[in-house]
Amino acid sequence: MAAISDDSIVTALRRQMTLASARQVVAAGNIANVDTPGFRAKTIDFDKVLDTELQAGARLTSTNPRHLAGAVAHDPAVVEAEGLQARRDGNTVQVDRELLSMTRASSDFAAAQTALAAKFRMVRYALAESK
């Protein structure tokens, strides 16, 4: 069984926060276009994001021993949301759905942020104790 490194934990939390932020931006864009005739609601294609992350074997190269190595960031895939009923004007934005999406994204971001803050508190504690 492979050990979970600090680097992999921080990278996973960063990805979670990036994805949650992207979901917030997409939902906000949908809400901003709620009155635009013919606008098709967008969403993040989670399966595509997951596939991209799993296939990403690329790592950043450190040019200095003091640099932190990390995974290459990928932009989440924004696609048209499927299965939404269009109104008479052709718009498929559903405000309740978008607000729920924003709430879930906010919760996901907050959870990752809390875990990351705890990780950094542990590091600060370790540094303070080593003096």
pLDDT (0 to 100) of residue 31: 97
User: At 91, phi and psi to the nearest 5?
Assistant: -80, 135
- 3-state secondary structure at position 81: coil
DSSP string, 32-45: HTTTSTT---EEE-
- In 3D space, the residue among 36, 1, 5, 17 whose CA is nearest the CA of residue 117 turns out to be 17
pLDDT (0 to 100) of residue 58: 45
Domain ranges of the chain: 6-129
Q: Which two tokens mark 98?
A: 């978008």
- Cα(79)–Cα(76) distance, integer angstroms: 10
- 3-state secondary structure at position 29: helix
User: At 71, phi and psi to the nearest 5?
Assistant: -80, 155
- Cα(49)–Cα(109) distance, integer angstroms: 17
Give the pLDDT confidence of 12-53 residue by residue, as tens digits. 899 899 999 999 999 999 999 999 999 999 999 876 666 666
Mean pLDDT, the chain, integer: 83
